[in-house]
Each structure stands twice: as structure tokens, then as C-alpha cells.
């Protein structure tokens, strides 16, 4: 029995050492269990509060990045649709029977059609530049957030494991 308890204590000590290396919050001290003694906190309240504040900022940044990415995609799609509609309107006006009757009207519709086609090509270039300079980098930037969230989950799991092991040690020391 004593041998099993000694083996368990050595395994718990090695687990504590591993957890201590994960969190650089100071040395782990063995405090014998005393009635009325408050439990030692693993992470100070100020550190935990700061961590929560920064994690909230991270969540807001992630949401804002997703929203910006979504809005930029909608904006470029709307730009493309608008320019295509303008080209179609100018082409329809150019094919109007009034153009055959009035040369001045035909000349103005031809100029309008040329301007709309140029606007469409400029708009397409603008959309391509937005894709390269805003949308693609935002997509790449957004790929960072899942790994950060996983790191936070691993931290929470490690803290829970530490608390569980600490309560076992305290229970064994009584």
C-alpha cells in the first residue's frame, strides 16, 4: 500500500513538473493540507482577468475580420453586377430602332456603349486588385484564429488537469 502511494506520488510529482514547464507562474510549493486554509490559485486573478480581456479582444477581432471579408466579397460582387448591367443597358440602347433613324442618337449611344465597356474593364481590374490586396490576405489572416482558439482550449484543459492533480495530491497528503 505504501509502495503504491509512493509510486502515485512520484507520478503526480512528474505530472506537476510537466505542468509547471507549461505555465511559467512560479515554482509549485507543497503546502500541507490544513483545515481553513484557502486553496492556492494556479493563476492570479489579475493574470486571469488580463487573459480574459485579451481573449475577448481576439474574439471581436475574429468576428470583425469575418464580417469585413464577407462585406468585401459582397461589394465586389455588386460592383461586377452593376458594371455588367450598365454594359447590357448600353448595348440594348445601341440596338434600339431609334439609332437607325437618327445619326446623332446613334453616335451618342455608340459613345455611351464604349464608355460602359471601358468602365466594365476598369471595374474588373479594380475587383481583381481588391481580391489580391484585401480579400485574399483577409482569408489568410482568418486562418490564424482556429489555431489560437485551440491553444486557448489546451490552456483551459491543462489548468483543469492541474487542478485535478493538485486536489489528488492534497487528498493523498491528508
What DSSP letter does each residue of 67-97 carry, written as one string?
HHHHHHHHHHHHHHHHHHHHHHHHHHHHTST
Phi and psi torsions of 96, nearest 5°: -70, 140
Residue with cell 482577468: 49
Quote the CA–CA distance of 99 and 93 in Å, as a whole number: 8
Cell representation of residue 168? 489528488
Q: Summarize the confidence of residues 39-43 as an average pLDDT.
A: 69
Show Cβ contacts of residue 173 under 8 Å, excluding neighbours closer than 6 positions: 30, 32, 33
pLDDT in tens, 77-128: 999 999 999 999 999 999 988 888 889 889 999 999 999 999 999 999 999 9
Q: Summarize the confidence of residues 59-73 as an average pLDDT.
A: 95
Q: What integer pLDDT is reported at residue 96 of this predicted model? A: 87
In order of 29, 75, 166, the CA distances from 68 in angstroms are 48, 10, 45
DSSP 159: H
Q: What integer pLDDT is reported at residue 57 of this predicted model? A: 95
Amino acid at each position: 500500500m505504501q509502495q503504491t502511494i509512493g509510486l502515485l506520488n512520484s507520478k503526480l510529482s512528474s505530472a506537476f513538473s510537466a505542468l509547471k514547464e507549461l505555465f511559467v507562474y512560479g515554482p509549485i510549493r507543497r503546502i500541507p493540507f490544513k483545515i481553513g486554509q484557502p486553496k492556492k490559485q494556479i493563476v492570479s486573478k489579475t493574470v486571469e482577468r488580463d487573459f480574459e480581456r485579451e481573449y475577448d479582444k481576439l474574439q471581436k477581432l475574429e468576428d470583425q475580420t469575418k464580417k469585413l471579408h464577407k462585406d468585401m466579397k459582397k461589394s465586389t460582387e455588386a460592383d461586377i453586377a452593376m458594371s455588367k448591367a450598365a454594359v447590357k443597358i448600353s448595348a440594348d440602347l445601341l440596338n434600339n430602332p431609334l439609332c437607325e433613324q437618327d445619326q446623332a442618337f446613334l453616335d451618342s449611344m455608340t459613345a455611351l456603349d464604349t464608355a460602359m465597356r471601358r468602365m466594365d474593364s476598369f471595374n474588373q481590374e479594380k475587383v481583381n486588385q481588391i481580391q489580391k490586396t484585401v480579400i485574399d490576405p483577409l482569408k489568410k489572416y482568418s486562418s490564424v484564429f482556429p489555431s489560437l482558439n485551440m491553444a486557448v482550449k489546451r490552456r483551459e484543459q491543462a489548468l483543469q488537469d492541474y487542478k485535478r492533480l493538485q486536489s489528488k495530491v492534497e487528498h493523498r497528503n491528508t
